């Protein structure tokens, strides 16, 4: 049995339905990240937002970026954040106030920012916009290791510096010694 061209009941294409599902999941879990009281749940919602974004990258035809998103964000950064949460949160933390006193102005500012971005995006003529094209991974590798070789090396030095700096900062000082 072949899959129909459009989604049976809704009459939209499969890509549109996938886009709406992933976008809704991403925005919903992003909202949970900034509003939930319990910070462990915030971190779990952050993982869900990263996963939905990886799905959107696949939809955009960038499979390598999607893979890196899963490996780097879900595999490394989210786990790092979870460890930091476990090491720094007191037992009574979720019962205390979550937001600053200026949370309401912050919400207004964020909504204004979103509206301005949406308006300027729709008002701008992006020139000749082609149909969606997938990125070939072999041409990506060629570009990365030829034209972008200097930024690549600089970033590896930056990562080394970050690792050394992180270890130095998080190291426990011996006050008695």
Partner 1 sequence: MSQSLDAYLILAGILFAIGSFGFLARRNAISMLMSIELMLNAVNLAIVAFGAFKPELNVDASVIALMVMAVAAAEATVGLAIVMAIYRNRRTPLVDEYDAMRQ
Using CB under 8 A, which residues numbered 33 to 72 contact partner 1? 33-34, 39, 42-43, 46, 49-50, 53, 56-57, 59-62, 64-65, 68-69, 72
Q: Looking at 92, 122, 150, 174, which residue binds partner 1 (CB under 8 A)? A: 122
Nearest residue (CB) to partner 1, 9 versus 111? 111
Residue 145: C-alpha distances to residues 69, 155, 156 (Å): 20, 13, 13
Q: Which residue's CB is nearer to partner 1, number 4 or number 146? A: 146
> Is residue 136 part of the contact set for partner 1 (CB under 8 A)?
yes
Return the bridge partners of 24, or none.
none
Quote the least distance from Cβ 1 to partner 1, whole Å. 24
Which member of 1, 169, 176, 177 binds partner 1 (CB under 8 A)? 169
Nearer to partner 1, 4 or 68 (CB): 68
DSSP line for 72-86: IIIIIIHHHHHHHHH
Phi (first) and psi of residue 83, to 5 degrees:
-65, -45
Question: Cα–Cα distance between 62 and 137 in angstroms, integer?
Answer: 9
Q: How far is CA 147 from CA 55, 64, 70, 82, 154, in A?
A: 28, 18, 26, 37, 13
**Count of chain residues binding partner 1 (CB under 8 A):** 91
Rounded to the nearest whole angstrom, what is the least distance from the CB of residue 176 to partner 1 in the complex?
15
């Amino acid at each position: 049995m072949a899959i129909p061209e459009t989604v049976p009941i809704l009459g939209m294409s499969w890509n549109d339905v996938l886009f709406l599902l992933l976008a809704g999941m991403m925005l919903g879990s992003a909202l949970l990240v900034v509003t939930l009281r319990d910070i462990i749940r915030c971190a779990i919602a952050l993982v869900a937002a990263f996963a939905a974004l990886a799905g959107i990258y696949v939809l955009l035809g960038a499979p390598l970026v999607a893979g890196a998103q899963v490996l780097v964000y879900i595999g490394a950064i989210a786990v790092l954040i979870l460890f930091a949460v476990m090491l720094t949160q007191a037992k009574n933390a979720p019962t205390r106030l979550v937001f600053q006193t200026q949370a309401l102005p912050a919400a207004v500012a964020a909504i204004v920012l979103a509206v301005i971005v949406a308006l300027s995006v729709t008002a701008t003529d992006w020139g000749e916009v082609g149909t969606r094209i997938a990125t070939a991974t072999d041409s990506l590798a060629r570009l990365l290791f030829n034209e972008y070789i200097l930024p690549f090396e600089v970033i590896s030095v930056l990562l080394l510096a970050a690792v050394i700096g992180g270890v130095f900062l998080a190291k426990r000082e011996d006050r008695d010694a």
